[in-house]
Amino acid sequence: MLPVSYSLGNVVARPGRSLVMIVVVALVVVACSLFLGLLSSLRRTVATTGDPMNLVVLRKGSDNDGSSQITRLAYDSVRYLDGIATREDGERLVSPELVVQPFFWTKQGGRENVLVRGVEPPAFDVHRDVAIAEGRPLRPRMGEALVGKALRGRYRGAELGEVLEFGRNRWTVVGILESGGSSFESEVWVDAADLSNDARRINPYSGVRLRAASEADLVSIKARVDSDPRYALEASRESEYYAKQAETAGSLTFLVLAISILAGTGAGFGAANTMYASVQSRTAEIGTLRALGFPRGAILLSFEIEAVVLALAGFALGAALSLALAEVLRHVLGGVTFGARTFTTNVVTLSITAKDLVLAFGLSLGIGLFGGLGPAWRAARLRPIEALRKA
């Protein structure tokens, strides 16, 4: 068998051709890693939003808060159901909430819909993963706002101590919300009564969030809400509710796979062309190796190793560029936006995980193996005398 050093030496001895293949593979890795990173970031945002022990109660037929309205009587019928968890002081963990989607002005002058949630004090007991990272809680009926961490600095006035303008009022930002990267960080929270007055809503709430005392209680509450004919309400588990809000991730997954296949195929042809050119320029060398007694399998394996080494070098370059670009995008853009089913903007912090790089590594390895197979087979099938004569 030919030593591995022979294949590695050929990579160094022909820097021009080697660089072409490395750059082609690196560009594919950058494109796929960024798309995969966006998808995994979106999935992480969705997966961390919502508590499986919470129920979302909306008007029947509504698939999100923005299209739902419930009356105070309907709220009262829900808040006293058996099986709702309580605090130590006996307060029931029920959070009536109002959602609107006003326009916010970005600092670049654009307009985006942002989800503004009107809440009451129990909201933080029900949404246990949401906390105030900086500042203080809202004071009722004082025109104050809490801004999600992902929105901070993205819109005019979306900073602690500044004044936000949306709807008919001006809102003083008194705190910054964080929730472990969930979609709650893409919301603005204000007092529910203030928001209802500002939006001039006849019905004060869009829906109700409540926390069940146990899994059995959650199933029982859901069944009672769904079967009550008086107010036409339906309940769903909060984690499932938010998973449906990001169903666009399914189409994005298909798009990323299609792009990866097309890009990988193109890169495979590029790798094959590079390796064919290498075989053509090394005909005499291959003939000499065959004349010295090296079998066809050794020649084939040597060229395959060379192609794989070039592909893995492209992966290393592409992975480094992907991580650097993701960091630049985080600082420059502050996050990547996508539209939820509430027609509002969610901000996702782009990050490339080890799993994303593993998938890109597999793609690079496939490009090297399959892109180099044809040229390696051609080199292995050259007869010694014909190869030396052609040279």
Are the C-beta atoms of 101 and 342 separated by less than 8 Å?
Answer: yes
* Shared domain check, 35 and 149: no
Residue 289 confidence class, pLDDT cut points 50, 70, 90:
low
In this prediction, residue 256 carries a pLDDT of 63
> Does one domain contain both 362 and 273?
yes
Rounded to the nearest 10 degrees, the angle between the axes of helix 296-333 and helix 248-281 is 140
Whether residue 196 is found in the same domain as residue 103: yes
Q: Are 212 and 322 found together in one domain?
A: no
Mean pLDDT of the chain: 81
- Decide the pairing of beta strands 187-191 and 169-178: unpaired
* Digit-coded pLDDT (tens) for 74-113: 999 899 999 999 988 888 999 999 999 888 888 888 888 8
Q: In the numeric block, which tokens belong to residue 57?
A: 């109660």
SS (H, E, C) 112-174: EECEEEEECCCHHHHCCCCEEEEECCCCCCCCEEEEEHHHCCCECCCCCCCEEEECCEEEEEE
The verdict on residue 138 lying in a domain is yes
Predicted confidence at residue 190, as pLDDT, reads 95
Task: Report the pLDDT value the prediction gives residue 382, as an integer from 0 to 100.
Answer: 66
Domain for residue 65, yes or no?
yes
- The reported pLDDT for the residue numbered 194 is 92
Please report whether residue 149 resides in a domain. yes
Could you tell me if residue 221 is inside a domain?
Answer: yes
How many domains in the chain?
Answer: 2
Mean per-residue pLDDT, 119-126 = 91
Strands 207-211 and 103-105, bridge-based pairing = unpaired
Cβ neighbours around 235 below 10 Å, total: 24
Amino acid code (one letter) for 309: V
Inform me whether the pLDDT recorded for 251 exceeds 80: no
Query: Would residue 125 count as lying in a domain?
Result: yes
Whether residue 142 sits in one domain with residue 254: no
How confident is the model at residue 219, as a pLDDT? 93
- Residue 137 placed within a domain: yes
Give the DSSP letter string of 292-306. TT--HHHHHHHHHHH
Q: Which of 62-66, 105-109, 177-181, 278-282 has the lowest mean pLDDT?
A: 278-282
Do the domain assignments include residue 275?
A: yes
Q: Give tens-digit pLDDT for 217-247.
A: 999 999 999 998 888 999 999 888 877 766 6
Do 254 and 223 fall into the same domain? no
28 in the same domain as 66: no
Q: Which of 197, 231, 265 is the last residue of a domain?
A: 231
Does some domain include residue 9? yes
> Do 30 and 168 lie in a common domain?
no
Of 182, 207, 231, the last residue of a domain is 231
For residues 384 and 316, state if they share a domain: yes
- From the CB of residue 384, how many other CB atoms can be counted at a distance below 10 Å? 16
User: Domain of 286?
Assistant: 4-47+247-390
Of 211-225, 258-272, 296-310, 316-330, which has the strongest mean pLDDT?
211-225
